[in-house]
Structure 1
């Protein structure tokens, strides 16, 4: 039994039931008519006057006919009314069928007055948007991951073939290159494993001073910044967050590494700050800002996808600036796992500002770190 048929029967039964109740009330009221012979009010009238029994009998017949008409009207009108009410569901069902067949580009875009059906259609369209973006990201991820993992394996195979063809055996440069290529593949796989584990495992968290963790990450990455001549400034105000310290340090380290490697060749700068989020007192805010080349606003969100770098999917020709394209993707996953928010904002003159907002924990009165 379809929903339309159930609604039709419901409308018809309600209409017939209402009519039956009305007729019953009239019938009960007519029973109070006196049960003695009635005479006409005009003595000259020649017609006969119906008795109470005849009136009640006629009322029952008329009521039966009226209920039959109401039943027909209720079922017919209920069928049309149910079809009109359920018409939006037909659009939603067609979109769901197309989505089940693999077509995610169709949208309902239900028009009309705002009601439960338009809310459902808008929610379904939003779900399709997210699914389409997710599937497209997964397809790009599979293609990029295959390319990234294939490259070091192909290089390794070539170098092994050269080594096997050399009668004097491999030289030290070949072995060093082979080791670096193998290490690159291991780093890629380790990063992928971390991305996968963040989607499944629950984090063991504890109160952590965000400023202290940022200071440790800055100390670890300060040597590379100094080597490249990048001026580093920090304003690390104490704020406690509930987080996994190792993952938080890895996220901040990745942000600093990106800020250093994607900076200006000369005269670059980097700024890192921590403290309470000005827009929300219950959250902590980490901000990393660096100078660098101009970044299109419509391309900045793609940086969060695995294997997509500032140069697209192409690795930097400078091996000291080369990355795997997993740094910001890992930062995004770590932030999400901590119920935080990550925002990337390109600067007008070039460079990037990354803000990580995390839920704040108990207040920490430890002194801040400023340099």
Structure 2
């Protein structure tokens, strides 16, 4: 592991040596220029002139070399000292980012680097790191909230089953037909909730091997599946499906379509309940629209409909078709995994309009 390896030079020392080395190389190049363009043209023999003593090349070297060595040594010291200070100043933002990383690793996700005064690469790195921490903190909070809600939802059917079993054990002679029916219904609800949780976790992943799918065919299949439920709820179900191709997982997209139509049916409180399902291509997008009649829903409440375990109110919430509050949460995850968008808006006259836009795909040639 990295912790057991011998630690090398720090980045500050590397930058310091780089600065000092650059100064030494620059000094050496300057001496080379002096030699090439000046000293090599001075003869190394005695120069006789009537004007007095004229130094030759050896005399100049004897006079030039000692101060040059001293100057190079001074450059080395200056390079090391100045490089150490400059490197420390340049790398100081990394210390703040490292500290924030350690705090995040220890579980403190609320800490931020905040380098708003910097407009360089370190400032961009700090901003990106803060944005990542914000996203991670939000995701962790969402997962904790989801786990708490899931535990609560699963505890309810399990508690009901335990109560029914305890009652039956205390009275062995009683007729258990109703108890068995209640156990089966409660167990079915727990199974459905568990399956929904599994779908929700899978829907958060990207699609590894997408297939080109006609959404109108999925809409037909979902409508056929839910037609009996619509008849039980006295809901008139209408479909207007135009060919609209997208690429993705057929299983997840069918789950998305089924959840949308199921929600529209069971949360429909109108006397003349209607549900409209439409698929169509438009501007490079494959669009699914599901509308249902019902009471007026404020826009601020619609914004929370994709939260896990948020259930509707009214008669649908009281029967066994009410669901587990994960329908639109699953839809949102599936849409995000397919690179699409989900929008919920109040419908004129009451009810909700759900619009899903997915990237359009080219249909395979037959």
Give the TM-score normalised by the residue count of structure 2.
0.83
1:151 aligns with 2:156: yes
Cα deviation digits, residues 39-59 of structure 1 (max 9, x gap): 58xx6xxx8554432222222
Work out the CA distance in 1 between the residues paired with 2:98 and 2:346.
Answer: 45
Q: Say if 1:85 and 1:38 are closer, same or farther in 2 by CA, change over 3 A.
A: farther
Given candidates 54, 61, 70, the residue that maps to 2:75 is: 70
The separation in 2 between residues aligned to 1:194 and 1:151, in whole angstroms, is: 21
Matched residue, 2:343: 344
Query: Structure 1: which 5+ runs fail to align?
Result: 366-371
Give the root-mean-square deviation of aligned CA atoms. 3.2
Alignment correspondent of 2:185? 180
- Distance change >3 Å, CA 57–CA 262, structure 1 → 2: farther
Contact 1:273/1:287 (CA < 8 Å) preserved in 2? yes
Q: Cα deviations across residues 280-323 of structure 1 (Å, max 9, x unaligned)?
A: x2x422122335442454872x5444433357xx9975125521
Matches within 5 A, 1:266-305: 266-267=271-272, 269-278=274-283, 281=284, 283-291=285-293, 292-297=295-300, 300=303, 302-305=304-307
Alignment-derived partner of residue 121 in structure 2: 116
In the alignment, the residues of structure 1 paired with residue 321 and residue 244 of structure 2 have an alpha-carbon distance, to the nearest angstrom, of 32
Deviation at 1:70, TM superposition (A): 1.4
Contact 2:219-2:257 at 8 Å conserved across structures? yes
CA 1:298–1:258: 2 relative to 1, 3 Å: closer
Work out whether residues 263 and 293 of structure 1, in 8 Å CA contact, stay in contact via their aligned partners in 2.
Answer: no
1:261/1:316 CA distance change after superposition, 3 Å: closer
2:32 aligned to 4, 24, 38, which one? Answer: 24
Q: What does 1:25-40 correspond to in 2, within 5 Å?
A: 25-28=33-36, 29-34=38-43, 35-37=45-47, 39=49
Contact 2:343 2:356 in 1 (8 A): no
TM-superposition CA deviations, 1:22-52 (whole Å, max 9, x none): 0122133223124443658xx6xxx855443
CA distance in 2, matches of 1:87, 1:20: 32
- Shift in CA distance, 204/84, structure 1 to aligned 2, threshold 3 Å: closer
Is 1:135 matched up with 2:140? yes
Mean Cα deviation higher: 154-163 or 244-253: 244-253
User: What residue is the counterpart of 2:356 in the other structure?
Assistant: 356
SS at match of 2:344: strand
State the alpha-carbon separation in 2 of the partners of residues 153 and 78 from structure 1: 68
Secondary structure at 2:41's aligned position in 1? Answer: coil
CA deviation vs aligned residue, 1:181-217 (integer Å, no higher than 9, x gap)? 1211121122233334556796665433211221232
* 8 A Cα contact 2:149 2:309, kept in partner: yes
Query: How far apart are the structure 2 equivalents of 1:233 and 1:340?
Result: 27
Q: Structure 2: where are the runs of 5+ without partners?
A: 1-8
Residues 212 and 361 of structure 2 are in contact (CA less than 8 Å); yes or no, is this contact kept in structure 1? yes
Contact 1:240 1:364 in 2 (8 A): no
Contact 2:161 2:186 in 1 (8 A): yes
Change (3 A) 1:246 1:4: closer
Distance across 2 between alignment mates of 1:241 and 1:299: 26
Query: Paired residue for 2:6?
Result: none
SS of the residue 1:110 aligns to: coil
Give distance in 2, aligned partners of 1:264 and 1:95.
Answer: 51
Match of 1:257 among 234, 259, 262: 262
Cα distance change, pair 272–315 in 1 and its aligned pair in 2 (3 A): closer
